[in-house]
Amino acid sequence: MSKSIGLTVNGMLHEVAATSDTPLIYVLRNDLNLKGNRFGCGEGVCGCCTVLLDGHAVQSCSTPLAAAEGKTVTTIEGIGSDAAPHPLQQAFIEEQAGQCGYCLPGFIMGAVALLQRNPAPSDAEIATELDLHLCRCGAYDRIRRAIRRASQQMAETRERMA
């Protein structure tokens, strides 16, 4: 049975009518028209649908809407813009980290969560984060370089601001 569920997505409060077990990705894509996160496997193993839930990376295809109720959801649309891309988005562009690009929103959102937890991750920590995502094009080396680049650029920005 549908009910009204409130959640904050990219800083805006939304009320959606859905069952509590509806996968979050369906609400984001179909009800809120946020098409950045992609539907991949539908089982939470490919990472294409990764979003942040209260700052933690989750696969929105396997996260029920009830888990997001009253929490903050951040999608790829919520971290940057064409005019002011997030440092990770810019680094992915500079490193030409994607080929087809289908998986990139998930990789970027996972990397955002990683850099929020650890602003200077080791190569092993980056690799562990990447284990949660699949890229059919095999752009893993470029993706790792992009995450390292963003980490370094963000550190330089913090130093300048200090």
Same domain, 66 and 97: no
Last residue of a domain, one of 57, 78, 99: 78
Is the model's pTM score more than 0.85?
yes
Last residue of a domain, one of 78, 99, 114: 78
Last residue of a domain, one of 14, 47, 78: 78
Average pLDDT rounded to a whole number, residues 37-44: 93
Tell me the two tokens of residue 85: 């891309």
CATH number at residue 68: 3.10.20.30
Contact in structure between 36 and 75 (CB atoms under 8 Å): yes
Same domain, 54 and 93: no
CA–CA separation, 13 and 25 (whole Å): 17
Summarize pLDDT for 73-87 with one digit per residue, the tens. Answer: 999 999 999 999 999
Average pLDDT rounded to a whole number, residues 48-76: 97
Average model confidence (pLDDT) across the chain = 95
Q: What is the 3-state secondary structure (H, E, C) of 46-64?
A: CCCCEEEECCEEEECCCCE
CATH number at residue 97: 1.10.150.120
Summarize pLDDT for 119-137 with one digit per residue, the tens. Answer: 999 999 999 988 989 999 9
